[in-house]
Structure 1
Amino acid sequence: MQEAPSDIPREGWFKSSYSGAGHTECVEVAHATQRTFVRDSKDPDGPTLAVSHDGWMAFVADARRRSPR
């Protein structure tokens, strides 16, 4: 098993404003100095995905382009 990165933030996590009223299928995001972290809001102690800031911004831009208005 791979060790968790030591720079995973303990605070500063947030959910998208599009997460809906039920908040049952959400991800949380936190921005750190070197990376952006993503986790399942229902399992905050579970696996955490770490991506570069550029990678995160590319993902968000693509999601916005694809989202229905």
Structure 2
Amino acid sequence: MARKKPAVDTSSVLFDVIYEDGRLTSNRKVPGSELGGFDGDTPAKTFIEEQDRKIAEMSGQSRGKIKSIKRSPNQ
């Protein structure tokens, strides 16, 4: 009999990000596996900062520091 593959968590959570210079980016995707536990949404900021670093390396333009993040209401 065939074995069933273990379920993979494919959920993601969307966040709106406000930068210190006032720019807003909406619907930034963070894997659900990065969130939860006692830290709540705090790991999302770290994940998005890492995404921003990679984007800055490829484009040569920094996005600046994140002022705040919140879950997108569009979910």
TM-score (norm 2): 0.26
| Higher alpha-carbon Rg | 2
Tell me which of the two structures has the higher relative contact order, counting C-alpha pairs closer than 8 angstroms and 6 or more residues apart. Answer: 2
- More helix by percentage: 2
